[in-house]
Amino acid sequence: LRGGLSEDDSEEEAEEAVEEASRQKMGQKEEESPDLQLNLDIDEQFKLPTNEQIEREDILFILVFLPAEPPDLHIIHQRIKGNMEVLQDFVVKREEGRTRQEYLTLLRRDMAAYYSYSDFLLMKLMDIFPLPELINFLEANEVPRPVTIRTNTLKTRRRDLAQALINRGVNLDPLGKWSKTGLVIYDSSVPIGATPEYLAGHYMLQGASSLLPVMALAPQENERILDMCCAPGGKTSYIAQLMKNTGMILANDSNAERLRSVVGNLHRLGVTNAVVSNCDGRQFPKVCSCLLWGGVLGGFDRVLLDAPCSGTGVISKDPAVKTNKDEKDILRCAHLQKELILSAIDSVNATSETGGYIVYCTCSIMVEENEWVVDYALKKRNVRLVATGLDFGKEGFTRFKDRRFHPSLKSTRRFYPHTHNMDGFFIAKFKKFSNAIPQAQKEPAVEAATPSAVPDTVMEPQLKKKKLEGSKVDKEQKPPQPALKKRRSLQAQRRPLKA
């Protein structure tokens, strides 16, 4: 061997030399890293790029098959920061001859490129959030929400469950003061979804925001409750837990495949007061009520409607939402939600001694799927909004752009990932005060969110139309006009009595 060194010694020296060179290289990269130079010079004024620069970036971004580099995200990030600074003090910092709209257009384009959103969705989000809060929302969607579990008090206590999981190497804490059953998992040396405690039904993997609608519903023992869109069964089992397996829960979902997970979870968690059904939620007042309660409309004490939605509140779980949603998708969801919420209201008994409540919730933050739907229900049925009973969350919108909603929408609640560190959620709670349907609304035609924006084919329900057996409804028959009735009544009063 050369120089009196063994082969092992020479290999160790070579490895040390490589590591030293690597450290020096990393040090140079850190010094040159653009992340350390994101703050613009105080004296440097942000200037909008020229049209030629924007066109060149678009070409590099779209024509990815060309041998060219993708857009420089560092430059885009710097532009976003500089643009935000100008917009926050526009009169002083704006560039001569440039309008606010030009800055906003560039900002929307840059944020769409940097965070990989469609231009449509970015524009909708800019309508909902102030610009600084929008950045926080977009950043929060890049990070997964904490893993949370709900203790099944039908089988154990939270204290005992926490100790059992800690003994298995799970690092956890209570979810918060607002929850008596939730636990947040930081890290674990065992799979949380495969522990003996999980298989024995001692807990349910469930997002923190999914606990809130059931807490707002506040089910009581021995009540009849409908969970209209129940899959995968987390909320249904929580309702049964609060009811202590008394009363009756009708766990319904229109998707038969998803009901398999519902049945499995209810068995595992020891739920014995639930009946599982596969029915279109829009048909409940016409079918299920007459079958189960002898034709009495509104047989349930409470109804939970976790409506199908666009999923814009759970982007961290499903990043595809960033680009695969458009205006028609939002309006299609809103149309279905309006039909479902009227059905949910009609399924509740207003004269219930303990209930008469409906909770409507979505995992969307779009106004068209939330406040718009709730405002529609207030106009179409004899219901009013009441407090959700949740002591945190942001108030719902009472005005949005050129729309004005009922003032009571302040009692609805919005939850955001950047504010509450949970999935985006919307919750509203109704109290039904009469089983009668307003005369003009007995055969409602669900209005579209923006009728001119969507063709008729989109707004039609995508179900096979089946005439109910024994139905006496004539499609061409029109309800009598109240004004005409009143006129005839007055005419009858004016006629002289015959001798």
User: Would you state the pLDDT for residue 459?
Assistant: 36
Q: Which of 186, 206, 226 is the last residue of a domain?
A: 206
Domain boundary among 206, 225, 252: 206
Regarding whether 223 and 196 lie in a shared domain, the answer is no
Residues 317, 398: one domain? yes
Q: What is the pLDDT of residue 151?
A: 98
Query: Do 368 and 261 reside in the same domain of the chain?
Result: yes
Q: Please give the pLDDT value at position 99.
A: 87
Instruction: Report residue 359's pLDDT band, with 50, 70 and 90 as the boundaries.
Output: very high
Residue 172: per-residue pLDDT: 96
Range of the domain at 450: 211-459
Same domain? For 177 and 304 the reply is no
User: Which range is most confident: 67-76, 177-186, 284-293, 464-473?
Assistant: 177-186
Residue 12 confidence class, pLDDT cut points 50, 70, 90: low
Q: Which long-range contacts (CB under 8 A, 24 or more apart) does 233-237 make?
A: 233/261, 233/262, 233/263, 233/264, 233/265, 233/266, 234/150, 234/204, 234/206, 234/210, 234/265, 235/210, 235/304, 235/306, 236/262, 236/266, 236/271, 236/274, 237/152, 237/204, 237/265, 237/266, 237/269, 237/271
Residues 67-120 have pLDDT tens digits of 445 567 888 888 898 888 888 888 888 888 888 888 899 899 999 999 999 999
Over the chain, what is the mean pLDDT? 81
Residue with tokens 């997970």: 261
pLDDT of residue 69: 53
Residues 179, 272: one domain? no
- What does the pLDDT read at residue 490? 45
- Is 487 within the bounds of a domain? no
In a domain, 432, yes or no: yes
- What's the pLDDT tens digit per position in 414-438? 999 999 999 999 999 999 999 888 8
pLDDT band at 466 (very low <50, low <70, confident <90, very high): very low
Q: Residues with catalytic annotation?
A: 363
Task: List all residues 6 or more positions away from 300 whose beta carbon is below 8 Å from its beta carbon.
Answer: 224, 225, 226, 250, 347, 348, 349, 355
Side chain identity, residue 17: A
Name the pTM for this structure.
0.77
User: What is the structure's pLDDT at 122?
Assistant: 94
Q: Give me the CATH number covering residue 406.
A: 3.40.50.150
Q: Cα(266)–Cα(244) distance, rounded to whole angstroms?
A: 13
Binding residues for S-adenosyl-L-methionine: 229-235, 253, 280, 306
pLDDT tens across 44-62, in order? 566 666 666 666 555 545 4
Q: Choose the final residue of a domain: 157, 183, 206.
A: 206
